[in-house]
Amino acid sequence: MKVYFVASNGQNVCAEGGGGGAVVANRNVIGPWEKFERIQLPDGKLAFMTDNGHYLCAEGGGGRELVANRREIGPWEQFRKLELPDDKIALMTDNGHYVCAEGGGGRELVANRREIGPWEQFYWGPAPA
């Protein structure tokens, strides 16, 4: 199932170029680069594949930037989803950091936060066709 993510400022998460590099939260429209194939893993974790077949990756397992440049799912490409109030979620990395849209959106995504604040909360839903 393809999903999309919305940062706290209302902008959509995007894998630039459809994948292969940076991940940002600065799009106002959902196109192919803003859709991610949600992959349910046997242990309950999730992986997310971009439009061109790359996977989201928390560099170092967390603590650094979030990129979309991996071709296989390893520990750094796996996320635990935490359900939050108001139909929002947080994504936890392999080493316990949370994914964050810097500035609440409009900038890059990182995976270097130890607590969940507004910038670490995302709305997600099924991507439109």
Q: Give Cβ neighbours of residue 91 (< 8 Å, ≥ 6 apart).
A: 46, 79, 80, 81, 82, 98, 99, 111, 122
In this prediction, what percent of the chain has a pLDDT beyond 70? Answer: 100
CB neighbourhood size of 114 (10 A): 10
Query: Measured at the alpha carbon of residue 88, what is the angle toward residues 75 and 102, in degrees to the nearest 5?
Result: 65
What value does the mean pLDDT of the chain take? 97
Is 70:34 a contact under the CB 8 Å cutoff? no
> What distance in Å separates the CA atoms of residue 95 and residue 120, rounded to the nearest whole number?
16
Q: What is the largest CA-CA distance in the chain?
A: 35
Residue 103 has pLDDT above 90, yes or no: yes
How confident is the model over 75-100, as a mean pLDDT? Answer: 97
Q: Which of 58, 29, 64 is nearest to 46 (CA)?
A: 58
Q: Does domain 2-126 have CATH number 2.60.40.420?
A: no
Confidence of residue 11 (pLDDT cuts 50, 70, 90): very high
Confidence of residue 129 (pLDDT cuts 50, 70, 90): confident
Q: Report pLDDT digits (tens) over 25-49.
A: 999 999 999 999 999 999 999 999 9
